[in-house]
Amino acid sequence: MISIHEYTATPKDKAEYEQGKARLMAAYKFMKACEDAGLTQRELAAAAGVPQRTVARVELADNTSLDTLDKLATT
């Protein structure tokens, strides 16, 4: 099993690790905010004018444009 220290041995690997960690934390916070607001993916998507699969991608920490994130955050 590879440890975090081995995986982040080079500056490039460490940067990729940190970016992935930040994406996962943002996705978690996004899901928590939706849950706290009582919104389903479908409801949020309809209110923001985006497909439901876009909300699912955000929750999976997939790459999403800043424009889409802005739509979802301001809905």
Query: Could you tell me the pTM of the whole model?
Result: 0.70
Q: What is the 3-state secondary structure (H, E, C) of 27-73?
A: HHHHHHHHHHHCCCHHHHHHHHCCCHHHHHHHHCCCCCCHHHHHHHH
Amino acid symbol at 8: T
Domain locations in the chain as residue ranges: 12-74
CATH superfamily of 12-74: lambda repressor-like DNA-binding domains (1.10.260.40)
Measured distance CA(5)–CA(10) in Å, rounded: 10
- pLDDT, tens digit only, all 75 positions of the chain: 778 888 788 999 899 888 888 888 888 888 898 999 999 999 999 998 999 999 999 888 887 787 888 888 887
